[in-house]
């Protein structure tokens, strides 16, 4: 699209309002430069450059209510360029978000303030997602827009009807994840997604020409977007483009040409104002240039009033929405509210888990845990309608699609399975956006080794406390012939190192359904389910109703007498430990086996519970087809470990286990050495 004259402009203001617009935008600029100056840290350039875009968007387009920051049908605004955090803090303050007081602005970047260095979800009401790692916000927004379309398809557009807006910088668009996000959004025709590109041609090192020459408009168009270029300091052009975006049948990118640090007399337009305080002289000069005479942190009454009025624009819309929700039939309304509040259908979930366990009790299954996961999903997915599954082009390998699941398509968003394509990073980031949107519990699928391709987004899910579930199959050398490129070795350890992430490695079909239950119940913690490609025997008596995995580790096989040896294992190696236990017991060495499906839950347990399960057998052996790192917390530095110390190799799984010495004999030898 070009910003053509044929576009009907319904939201242009009379010309005399230009002066008011300028003063409102200058209020953002002043707060940004003064807060960064006070902190002597931060990024004034982006907020000053993007102030006009933000003013038009927030005063004339965005649907939101500062008195109800979490109103489910609000438009979402994502500041993907999180370094420009003062932009959103200034907006939240000016619009009347109660907690964003002028004192918070004055305490920008200080301990305990809600004005953290980069915007943090859950820390600051009005912030939709944590941004800072460039590219993530844009990809989160794709997930938010997907969530909106899905929920609109399920509950109707009377209840779910909002837009997602992103402010993205050069850095956002240079990051690889943006390509995955953009391609997917174009493919799915996410017409209610609008990206405002702060096209200022400057990054930290200097002019963009040092490192980039992409035509972003052509790039987005090639991915199926509507894209145009406008003057990002012309409020009428911004409004026209935003108005046009609302009518588009495709996602829209508006490249807004701006001047970084707009108003700064000597530093505007240069990298010098990207990421440091402007200095007193430059700020004084900017005040003169912008015609802004108020002292630091003071907003003239008329400007404050105009911003407050903008903050109240959508109150009627929210009330009308509330009436529509109240008019739903009770079942629909309860279901909508339950899902938006993130409350599980506890009874249905418990029944689904028990149904799987009963099946496994009746007919034990010696199957791969990825297949056990599919078995579990056949029960869980119908019971928990907020679950949306997917796979990054490994659907048949990850076993994440149940028979009844329909794909999500551009034409029909009511489906519950996303073919993410070969876009692991974009998938994980969009899943975060879905979870943040609320109403959906997303779960993915790819190979465990490719958590490396998702890691920045998994980290943000953990930081934000989002219920996102990653089904990561092919979890060790047990995948066999695909070889070391595909065999995770260090991944379990590296994922376990991440705060607020749970890594589950179930040993059999029963543990798999239990781990699924725990992942679903973790409302504020993402989970990784590490699952095998190869078959494993069913070790657990499925008749037990209790979820034994909830303890993180538990005694699967007791010693006959006082234990001399404790064998600790996870996943596919638990069955080796069980075999080794028999050999050791046969030699008169009382040995117990502890299954360790989840380190984090074990370490969250009380000291007493942890001590009890770890026990005090003089010999402790850890067994996992991965590196030792992390296991010392269970087996001690003097414990023995049977696992990997190098990359794997390409061969059938059985040969690899023998080659790398992860065998019953090796466990027995380690225990008796
Ligand atoms: C993934 C990632 N890499 C690097 C950084 C550090 N960083 C912050 S802003 C920025 C680039 C700034 O350029 P641009 O995105 O154009 O922002 P502007 O200068 O316009 O404010 C970089 C490299 C980051 N935040 N995230």
| Residue 543 confidence (pLDDT) | 86
Residue nearest to atom 21 of ligand 1 (CA): 46
In angstroms, what CA-CA distances link 67 with 64, 70, 125, 437? 9, 9, 10, 18
Q: Is the dihedral of CA 582, 585, 587, 589 positive or negative?
A: positive
Pocket test for ligand 1, best of 41, 83, 201 (most atoms within 8 A of CB): 83
Single out the residue of 187, 193, 249, 191 nearest to residue 419, CA to CA: 187
* pTM for this entry: 0.97
SS (H, E, C) 152-213: HHHHCCCCCCCCEEEEECHHHHHCHHHHHHHHHHHHCCCCCEEEEEEECCEECCEEHHHCCC
Pocket test for ligand 1, best of 36, 51, 118, 134 (most atoms within 8 A of CB): 134
Q: Would you state the structure tokens that stand for residue 169, as one six-digit string?
A: 């910088």
Percentage of the chain exceeding pLDDT 90: 97
Whether the predicted pLDDT of 12 surpasses 50: no
Distance from C-alpha of 472 to C-alpha of 579, rounded to nearest angstrom: 26
Angle at 662 between CA 659 and CA 668, to 5 degrees: 125
60-105 confidence digits (pLDDT tens): 999 999 999 999 999 999 999 999 999 999 999 999 999 999 999 9
Does the Cβ of 204 fall within 6 Å of ligand 1? yes
Distance from C-alpha of 643 to C-alpha of 639, rounded to nearest angstrom: 13
Q: Would you state the structure tokens that stand for residue 527, as one six-digit string?
A: 């989970």
* CA of 170, closest atom in ligand 1: 16
Residue 274 CA, ligand 1 centroid: distance in Å = 9
Does the Cβ of 203 fall within 6 Å of ligand 1? yes
Does the Cβ of 574 fall within 6 Å of ligand 1? no
Q: What average pLDDT does range 200-225 have in this prediction?
A: 98
**Is 282 an active-site residue?**
no
Maximum Cα interatomic distance, the chain, rounded to a whole number of Å: 94
Confidence of residue 21 (pLDDT cuts 50, 70, 90): very high
Residue 25 CA, ligand 1 centroid: distance in Å = 23
Single out the residue of 465, 463, 473, 459 nearest to residue 392, CA to CA: 473
Distance from C-alpha of 94 to C-alpha of 85, rounded to nearest angstrom: 14
Q: Which residue has the tokens 């296991």?
A: 631
Does the Cβ of 268 fall within 6 Å of ligand 1? no
Distance from C-alpha of 160 to C-alpha of 488, rounded to nearest angstrom: 41
Does the Cβ of 260 fall within 6 Å of ligand 1? yes
Single out the residue of 242, 264, 236 nearest to residue 254, CA to CA: 242
Distance from C-alpha of 590 to C-alpha of 609, rounded to nearest angstrom: 22
Q: Would you state the structure tokens that stand for residue 653, as one six-digit string?
A: 């799984």
652-670 confidence digits (pLDDT tens): 999 999 999 999 999 999 9
Residue nearest to atom 9 of ligand 1 (CA): 83
Distance from C-alpha of 609 to C-alpha of 597, rounded to nearest angstrom: 16
CB 572 within 8 A of CB 476: yes
Q: Would you state the structure tokens that stand for residue 262, as one six-digit string?
A: 């707009």
Residue 50 CA, ligand 1 centroid: distance in Å = 15
Confidence of residue 541 (pLDDT cuts 50, 70, 90): confident
* CA of 46, closest atom in ligand 1: 21
Which residues face 446 on adjacent strands? 472
Does the Cβ of 460 fall within 6 Å of ligand 1? no
Does the Cβ of 80 fall within 6 Å of ligand 1? no
Q: Would you state the structure tokens that stand for residue 625, as one six-digit string?
A: 């087809």
Rg for the chain (alpha carbons), in Å?
28
Q: What average pLDDT does range 496-508 have in this prediction?
A: 98
* CA of 200, closest atom in ligand 1: 20
Whether the predicted pLDDT of 584 surpasses 80: yes
- Among candidate residues 374, 424, 511, 514, the one labeled active-site is 424
Residue nearest to atom 13 of ligand 1 (CA): 203
Residue nearest to atom 15 of ligand 1 (CA): 171
Does the Cβ of 256 fall within 6 Å of ligand 1? no
Residue nearest to atom 8 of ligand 1 (CA): 83
Dihedral, CA of residue 27, residue 30, residue 32 and residue 35, to nearest 10: -120
* CA of 175, closest atom in ligand 1: 1
CB 368 within 8 A of CB 534: yes
Distance from C-alpha of 252 to C-alpha of 558, rounded to nearest angstrom: 62
* CA of 82, closest atom in ligand 1: 25
* CA of 45, closest atom in ligand 1: 21
| Residue 2 confidence (pLDDT) | 36
Could you tell me which residues come within 8 angstroms of residue 69 by beta carbon, excluding any fewer than 6 positions away? 97, 125, 126
Q: DSSP letter at 397?
A: H
Q: Would you state the structure tokens that stand for residue 652, as one six-digit string?
A: 């059938």
Helix (H, G, I), strand (E, B) or coil at 254: strand
Residue 557 CA, ligand 1 centroid: distance in Å = 53
Does the Cβ of 369 fall within 6 Å of ligand 1? no
Q: Which residue has the tokens 């502890």?
A: 594
| Residue 516 confidence (pLDDT) | 99
Q: DSSP letter at 135?
A: T
Phi, psi of 520 (to 5 degrees): -65, -35
509-521 confidence digits (pLDDT tens): 999 999 999 999 9
Helix (H, G, I), strand (E, B) or coil at 391: strand
Distance from C-alpha of 169 to C-alpha of 186, rounded to nearest angstrom: 19
Q: Would you state the structure tokens that stand for residue 78, as one six-digit string?
A: 């994502």
Residue 130 CA, ligand 1 centroid: distance in Å = 15
Residue 33 CA, ligand 1 centroid: distance in Å = 18
pLDDT averaged over every residue in the chain = 96
Residue nearest to atom 19 of ligand 1 (CA): 203
Q: What average pLDDT does range 14-23 have in this prediction?
A: 82
Angle at 649 between CA 645 and CA 650, to 5 degrees: 165
Does the Cβ of 46 fall within 6 Å of ligand 1? yes
Residues across the chain = 673
Which element (helix H / strand E) includes 445?
strand 441-447
Q: How many helices and strands (H and E) does the chain possess? A: 26, 18
Single out the residue of 566, 517, 516, 574 nearest to residue 540, CA to CA: 574
Confidence of residue 415 (pLDDT cuts 50, 70, 90): very high
Confidence of residue 16 (pLDDT cuts 50, 70, 90): low
Q: Would you state the structure tokens that stand for residue 425, as one six-digit string?
A: 């990073």
Q: What average pLDDT does range 552-565 have in this prediction?
A: 98
* CA of 49, closest atom in ligand 1: 20
User: How many Cα atoms are found within 13 Å in the side-chain-facing hemisphere of 398?
Assistant: 28
Whether the predicted pLDDT of 13 surpasses 90: no
Distance from C-alpha of 237 to C-alpha of 30, rounded to nearest angstrom: 23
Single out the residue of 250, 258, 104, 127 nearest to residue 196, CA to CA: 258
Helix (H, G, I), strand (E, B) or coil at 298: coil
Does the Cβ of 82 fall within 6 Å of ligand 1? no
Confidence of residue 5 (pLDDT cuts 50, 70, 90): very low
Helix (H, G, I), strand (E, B) or coil at 467: coil
Confidence of residue 542 (pLDDT cuts 50, 70, 90): confident
CB 463 within 8 A of CB 500: yes
Angle at 97 between CA 67 and CA 290, to 5 degrees: 140
Residue nearest to atom 12 of ligand 1 (CA): 203
Helix (H, G, I), strand (E, B) or coil at 129: coil
């Amino acid at each position: 699209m070009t910003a053509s004259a044929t576009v009907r402009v319904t939201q242009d203001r009379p010309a005399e309002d230009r002066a008011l617009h300028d003063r409102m935008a200058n209020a953002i600029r002043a707060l940004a430069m003064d807060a960064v100056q006070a902190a002597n840290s931060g990024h004034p350039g982006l907020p000053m450059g993007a102030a006009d875009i933000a003013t038009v968007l927030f005063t004339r387009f965005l649907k939101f209510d500062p008195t109800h920051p979490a109103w489910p049908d609000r438009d979402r605004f994502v500041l993907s360029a999180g370094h420009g955090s003062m932009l959103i803090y200034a907006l939240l303050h000016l619009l009347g978000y109660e907690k964003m007081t002028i004192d918070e602005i004055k305490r920008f970047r200080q301990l305990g303030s809600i004005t953290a260095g980069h915007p943090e979800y859950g820390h600051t009401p009005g912030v939709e997602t944590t941004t800072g790692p460039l590219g993530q916000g844009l990809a989160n927004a794709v997930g938010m827009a997907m969530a909106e379309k899905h929920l609109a398809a399920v509950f109707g557009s009377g209840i779910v009807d909002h837009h997602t807006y992103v402010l993205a910088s050069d850095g956002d668009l240079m990051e690889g994840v943006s390509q995955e996000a953009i391609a997917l959004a174009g493919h799915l025709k996410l017409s209610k997604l609008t990206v405002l590109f702060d096209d200022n041609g400057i990054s930290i090192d200097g002019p963009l020409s040092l490192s980039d020459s992409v035509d972003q408009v052509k790039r987005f168009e090639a991915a199926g977007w509507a894209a145009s270029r406008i003057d990002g300091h012309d409020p009428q052009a911004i409004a026209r483009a935003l108005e046009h975006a609302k009518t588009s049948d495709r996602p829209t990118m508006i490249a807004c040409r701006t001047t970084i640090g707009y108003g700064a007399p000597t530093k505007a337009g240069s990298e010098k104002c990207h990421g440091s305080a402007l200095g007193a002289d430059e700020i004084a000069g900017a005040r003169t240039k912008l015609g802004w005479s108020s002292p630091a942190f003071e907003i003239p009454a008329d400007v404050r009033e105009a911003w407050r009025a903008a903050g109240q624009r959508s109150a009627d819309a929210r009330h009308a929405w509330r009436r529509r929700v109240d008019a739903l039939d009770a079942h629909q309304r309860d279901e909508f509210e339950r899902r938006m509040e993130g409350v599980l259908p506890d009874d249905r979930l418990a029944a689904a888990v028990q149904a799987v366990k009963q099946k496994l009790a009746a007919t034990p299954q010696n199957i791969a845990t990825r297949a056990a996961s599919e078995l579990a999903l056949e029960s869980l997915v119908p019971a928990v309608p907020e679950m949306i599954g997917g796979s990054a082009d490994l659907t048949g390998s990850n076993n994440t699609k149940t028979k009844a699941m329909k794909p999500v398509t551009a034409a029909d968003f009511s489906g519950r399975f996303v073919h993410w394509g070969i876009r692991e990073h974009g998938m994980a980031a969009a899943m975060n956006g879905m979870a943040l949107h609320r109403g959906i519990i997303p779960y993915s699928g790819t190979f465990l080794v490719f958590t490396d391709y998702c890691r920045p987004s998994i980290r943000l899910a953990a930081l934000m406390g989002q219920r996102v579930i990653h089904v990561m199959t092919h979890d060790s050398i047990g995948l066999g012939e695909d070889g070391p490129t595909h065999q995770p070795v260090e991944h379990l350890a590296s994922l376990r190192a991440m705060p607020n992430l749970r890594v589950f490695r179930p040993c059999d079909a029963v543990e798999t359904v239990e781990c699924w239950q725990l992942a679903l119940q973790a409302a504020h913690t993402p989970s990784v389910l590490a699952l095998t490609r190869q078959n494993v025997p069913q070790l657990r008596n499925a008749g037990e109703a209790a979820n034994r995995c909830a303890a993180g580790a538990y005694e699967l096989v007791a010693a006959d007498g006082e234990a001399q040896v404790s064998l600790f294992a996870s996943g596919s190696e638990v069955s080796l430990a069980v075999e080794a236990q028999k050999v050791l017991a046969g030699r008169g060495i009382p040995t117990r086996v502890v299954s360790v499906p989840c380190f984090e839950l074990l370490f969250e347990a009380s000291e007493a519970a942890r001590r009890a399960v770890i026990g005090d057998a003089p010999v402790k052996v850890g067994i996992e087809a991965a590196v030792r790192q992390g296991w010392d917390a269970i087996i001690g530095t003097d414990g023995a470990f049977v696992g990997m110390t190098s990359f794997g190799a390409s061969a059938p799984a059985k040969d690899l286990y023998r080659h790398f010495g992860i065998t019953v004999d090796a466990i027995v030898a380690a225990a008796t050495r």
